[in-house]
């Protein structure tokens, strides 16, 4: 896999912008840390200098044949300085290391806050998921830029001061030495910068691979998937796919590592030439220029120290480039634009205006990156308290339409009105209060049963309402046989003393949750797809009974389960092709009748047995 596969992507922000962004956050979160910087940095420069100066003092003192007392005094000053420097540096190191770790966790918290609060459509798709993956890569390790910035900042300032101080000393030896060292270090920086930019551009290819690897790792240990893995011999697929994607990941990593090896080789070669020339010049000065041994030792150490400071700066700038590119990924994720109204909105309908009516006008929607519309020119009115069924084949756009109505997606074109007010005129979070929604995919939190129903902590639960919805949903029958009752933990994969619910019990819990929220609009998006026809019919009849005086939208792939609805809308390729009551649509003998008859055929008692009498098990 060569360079041609690497996407050419220009970072949204510059290096300075990102460094300022990180430092501003450091200042906001921990102003005291900058005091440690001020204390630590001078000693990081002076400590090594005193280590270099100590041998010169010793040699000069011996050469001058000073007394033992004078020798001890001469050496006491740098030794004391070295001890003090090391003590302060080590003490400050733990503070800065802890602060760096704390900053990274703060950025992770910012990511979590973003993912649970941003508009749903920002994360519902490959683009949003890849942004999340790259943001995780920017905060996932101790070496991540959000943590490393404290260490890099201290080292960079120290290295700059060290270069100025040591460079002034070397300049007295010969100015050309400084020039040669600067040129070689510039070459090192250019090579290192190239490697960092290559790594950044590789992330567009690496992110989807990481997403697939993470999925395989997660599902391989998923308690719910364990049965299928074994019974259907899916383990080999998981192993093969993991190996395939791991190999792709390693191939991308190889390209980066080869370039990193090349950069290190150049660094070593230039370092050898740089130090060799400098040390050769010093040896020449001792032999032929009357430089004394003490000065030779001092300059020898200064040249080595200067090279270290300069190499440090090159590394710091390359690291800053890496940090900058990671920060671009992080900020691009954190700054995803929310389209929905997050400010002051119109008032929610009053109790006397309930239940709500809904109107869709010339509604269109297509997913980001798609050329075709999923929803096409939908015009639909749902009256107050009306029960509407959305039916059609898989992929007809039923779930997409529901997500548009309840505010998870924003229309590409057209408008949605609730009680005569456009949905984008409501505050987003207040608008969500209008809906009690049950989707097909059920996710239970590792919390108490009552906390799963109320979606809040135990201390905030309305006990009277909780008991009422447990009885209304028939979940009370399950609760009675549990030692801890409604305070039983769920999700056995997390807690040893938790339980797992059956499919029907989960449906009852979802019904209880919807009833507890008591939104004026009820939406059921095929929540019973995994149940048999009889169980599904019972659940829908239960919803029908308990959602009187609510505006209700039902989606089911079994048409018989929605016969009780006031109006049925048949969607086909994102368009309404039939609309009416069950009887009206049956009389039209269109697509609805065709699908209904086809489904009823499969519920005959004696398929192919010649029996004339039929029994529809879902009816």
| pLDDT at 525 (0 to 100) | 81
Q: What is the mean pLDDT of residues 464-489?
A: 87
Residue 201 tokens read as 């551009």
Q: How far, CA to CA in Å, does 60 sit from each of 49, 55, 75, 78? A: 17, 8, 11, 14
Average pLDDT of the chain to the nearest whole number: 80
Asked if pLDDT for residue 3 goes beyond 50, the answer is no
Closest CA to 44 of 155, 165, 168, 147: 155
Confidence category of residue 225, pLDDT binned at 50, 70, 90: low
Please determine, for residue 230, whether its predicted confidence score (pLDDT) is greater than 80.
no
pTM surpassing 0.75? no
User: What average pLDDT does the segment 292-309 reach?
Assistant: 76
Residue-level pLDDT at 603: 56
pLDDT value at residue 80: 83
**169 has a pLDDT exceeding 90:** no
The C-alpha atoms of residue 102 and residue 157 are separated, in whole angstroms, by: 22
The predicted structure's pLDDT at residue 2: 42
> What pLDDT digit, counting tens, does each position of 436-445 carry?
888 877 888 8
Cβ atoms < 10 Å from Cβ of 282: 23
Per-residue pLDDT at 506: 85
Domains and CATH numbers, the chain: 14-334 (1.20.1560.10), 384-410+422-444+501-601 (3.40.50.300), 445-497 (no CATH)
Rounded distance between C-alpha atoms, residue 221 and residue 149, angstroms: 35
Q: Given this model, what pLDDT does residue 260 score?
A: 77
Share of the chain above pLDDT 90, in %: 8
pLDDT at position 232 is 59
Q: What contacts 453, CB < 8 A, 6 or more positions away?
A: 466, 469, 470, 486, 509, 512, 513, 516
| pLDDT for res 607 | 40
Q: For residue 232, count CB atoms less than 10 angstroms from its CB and return exposed for 0-12, middle for 13-18, buried for 19 or more.
A: exposed
68 dihedral zone (left: phi>0; alpha: psi -120 to 50; beta): alpha
Is 367 within 8 Å of 411 (Cβ atoms)? no
| Range from 225-239, 358-372, 393-407, 498-512 carrying the lowest mean pLDDT | 225-239
Q: Is the pLDDT of residue 361 over 90?
A: yes
Q: Report how far apart the first and last C-alpha atoms of the chain are (Å, whole number).
A: 58
The DSSP call for residue 289 is S
Q: Are 238 and 220 in contact (CB under 8 A)?
A: yes
- Taking CA atoms, 35 is separated from 39, 274, 356, 556, in Å, by 6, 36, 59, 64
Segment among 4-8, 192-196, 394-398 with least mean pLDDT: 4-8
Q: Are 181 and 67 in contact (CB under 8 A)?
A: no
How far is Cα 557 from Cα 526, in angstroms, rounded to an integer? 7
In a 3-state reduction of DSSP, which class is residue 11? coil
Determine the average pLDDT of the residues in 154-180.
78
Model confidence pLDDT, tens digit, residues 32-48:
888 878 888 888 888 88
| Nearest one of 499, 509, 438, 517 to 473, comparing CA atoms | 509
The phi-psi region of residue 392 (left if phi > 0; otherwise alpha if psi is between -120 and 50; otherwise beta) is left
pLDDT tens digits, one per residue of 123-151: 887 788 888 888 888 888 877 888 888 88
Contacts 24+ apart (CB under 8 A), 185-188: 185/270, 185/310, 185/311, 185/313, 185/314, 187/266, 187/270, 188/263, 188/266, 188/267, 188/270, 188/311, 188/314
For range 290-299, the mean pLDDT? 75
Q: What is the pLDDT of residue 224?
A: 62
Cα(149)–Cα(324) distance, integer angstroms:
10
State mean pLDDT over 199-215: 75
The count of other CB atoms within 10 Å of the CB of residue 190 is 13
pLDDT exceeds cutoff 60 at 530? no
**Residue 486 in this model has a pLDDT that exceeds 50:** yes
Please report the pLDDT score of residue 599 as a whole number: 76
Residue 573 has pLDDT above 50, yes or no: yes
The CA angle 387-588-572, to the nearest 5 degrees, is 65
From CA 307, how far away is CA 298, in angstroms rounded?
Answer: 14
pLDDT band at 614 (very low <50, low <70, confident <90, very high): very low
Whole-number Å distance between alpha carbons of 440 and 452: 17
Q: What is the mean pLDDT of residues 211-215?
A: 78
- CA separation, residue 208 to residues 235, 328, 369, 573 (Å): 22, 18, 16, 29
Confidence band of 418 (pLDDT split at 50, 70, 90): very high
In the chain, helix, strand, coil percent, each to 5? 65, 10, 30
Span 320-331, pLDDT tens digits: 888 888 888 899
Cα separation, 336 vs 111, whole angstroms: 11
Q: Is the pLDDT at 28 greater than 80, yes or no?
A: yes
Residue 597 DSSP SS3 = helix
CA distance 538 to 613: 23
State the average pLDDT over residues 213-238.
Answer: 68
Residue 614 tokens, joined:
């039929």
Beta-carbon count within 10 A of 598 CB: 10
Whole-number Å distance between alpha carbons of 442 and 509: 10
**Average pLDDT of 525-531?**
65
More confident residue, 262 or 10: 262
Angle 21-25-27 from CA coordinates, rounded to 5°: 120
Picking from 316, 188, 314, 206, the residue whose alpha carbon sits closest to that of residue 262 is 188
Mean pLDDT along residues 237-250: 80
Round to whole Å and give the CA distance between 310 and 196.
19
pLDDT of residue 611: 38
Mean pLDDT of 178-205: 72
| Whether the predicted pLDDT of 577 surpasses 80 | yes
Mean pLDDT of 364-372: 85
Confidence bin at 612 (pLDDT 50/70/90): very low
Which of 172-176, 376-380, 579-583 is predicted least confidently?
172-176
What separation in angstroms does the CA of 302 have from each of 43, 44, 52, 159? Answer: 16, 15, 7, 13
The pLDDT of 161-166, averaged and rounded, is 82
Q: What is the mean pLDDT of residues 304-318?
A: 78
Given a cut of 70, whether residue 536 has pLDDT beyond it is no
Angle between helices 145-171 and 175-220 (to 10 degrees): 170
pLDDT at 228: 62
Residue 122 — very low, low, confident or very high, per pLDDT cuts 50/70/90? confident
Q: Which carries the bigger pLDDT value, residue 338 or residue 278?
A: 338
Residue 319's contacts (CB-CB under 8 Å, 6 or more residues apart) are 148, 152
- Is it the case that residue 547 has pLDDT exceeding 50? yes
* C-alpha pair distances (Å), 551 with each of 194, 384, 436, 453, 523: 60, 6, 10, 21, 9
Select, from the ranges 55-59, 93-97, 410-414, 605-609, the one with the highest average predicted confidence (pLDDT): 410-414
pLDDT classification of 171: cutoffs 50, 70, 90: confident
The answer, yes or no, to whether residue 217 has pLDDT greater than 80, is no
């Amino acid at each position: 896999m060569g360079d041609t596969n690497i996407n050419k992507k220009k970072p949204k922000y510059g290096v300075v912008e990102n460094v300022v962004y990180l430092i501003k956050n450091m200042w906001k979160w921990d102003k005291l840390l900058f005091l440690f910087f001020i204390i630590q940095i001078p000693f990081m420069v002076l400590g090594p200098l005193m280590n270099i100066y100590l041998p010169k003092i010793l040699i000069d003192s011996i050469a001058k044949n000073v007394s033992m007392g004078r020798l001890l005094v001469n050496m006491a000053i740098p030794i004391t300085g070295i001890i003090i420097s090391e003590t302060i540096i080590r003490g400050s190191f733990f503070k800065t290391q802890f602060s760096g770790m704390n900053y990274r966790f703060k950025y992770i918290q910012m990511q979590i806050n973003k993912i649970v609060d941003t508009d749903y459509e920002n994360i519902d798709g490959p683009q949003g998921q890849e942004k999340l993956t790259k943001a995780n890569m920017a905060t996932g390790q101790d070496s991540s830029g959000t943590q490393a910035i404290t260490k890099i900042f201290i080292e960079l300032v120290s290295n700059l001061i060290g270069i100025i101080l040591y460079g002034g000393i070397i300049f007295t030896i010969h100015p050309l030495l400084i020039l040669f060292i600067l040129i070689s270090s510039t070459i090192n920086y250019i090579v290192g910068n190239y490697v960092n930019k290559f790594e950044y551009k590789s992330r567009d290819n690496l992110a989807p691979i990481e997403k697939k690897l993470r999925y395989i790792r997660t599902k391989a240990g998923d308690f719910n998937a364990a049965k299928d893995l074994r019974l259907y011999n899916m383990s080999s697929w998981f192993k093969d796919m993991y190996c395939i994607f791991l190999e792709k990941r390693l191939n991308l990593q190889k390209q980066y590592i080869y370039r990193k090896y090349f950069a290190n080789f150049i660094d070593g070669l230039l370092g050898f030439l740089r130090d060799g020339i400098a040390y050769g010049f010093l040896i020449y000065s001792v032999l032929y220029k009357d430089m004394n041994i003490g000065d030779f030792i001092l300059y020898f150490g200064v040249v080595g120290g200067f090279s270290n400071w300069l190499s440090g700066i090159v590394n710091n700038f390359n690291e800053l480039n890496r940090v900058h590119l990671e920060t671009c990924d992080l900020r691009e994720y954190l700054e995803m634009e929310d389209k929905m109204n997050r400010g002051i909105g119109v008032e929610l309908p009053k109790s006397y205006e309930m239940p709500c009516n809904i109107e869709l006008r010339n509604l269109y929607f297509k997913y980001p990156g798609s050329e075709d519309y999923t929803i096409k020119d939908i015009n639909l009115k749902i009256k107050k308290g009306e029960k509407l069924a959305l039916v059609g084949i898989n992929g007809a756009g039923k779930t997409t339409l529901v997500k548009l109505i309840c505010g998870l997606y924003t229309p590409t074109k057209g408008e949605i009105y609730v009680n005569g007010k456009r949905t984008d005129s409501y505050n987003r979070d207040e608008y969500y209060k209008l809906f009690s929604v049950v989707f097909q995919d059920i996710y239970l939190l590792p919390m108490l049963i009552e906390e799963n129903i109320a979606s809040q902590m135990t201390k905030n639960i309305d006990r009277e309402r909780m008991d009422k919805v447990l009885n209304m949903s028939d979940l009370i029958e399950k609760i009675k046989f549990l030692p801890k009752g409604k305070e039983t933990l769920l999700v056995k994969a997390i807690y040893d003393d938790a339980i797992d619910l059956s499919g029907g019990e989960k449906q009852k819990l979802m019904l209880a949750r919807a009833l507890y929220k008591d939104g004026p609009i009820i939406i059921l998006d095929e929540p019973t797809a995994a149940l048999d026809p009889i169980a599904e019919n019972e659940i829908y009849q239960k919803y029908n009974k308990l959602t009187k005086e609510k505006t209700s939208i039902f989606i089911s792939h079994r048409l018989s389960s929605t016969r009780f609805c006031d109006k049925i809308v048949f969607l086909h390729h994102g368009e309404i092709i039939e609309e009416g009551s069950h009887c009206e649509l049956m009389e039209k003998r269109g697509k609805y009748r065709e699908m209904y008859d086809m489904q009823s055929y499969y519920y005959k008692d004696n398929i192919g047995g010649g029996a004339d009498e039929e029994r529809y098990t879902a009816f």
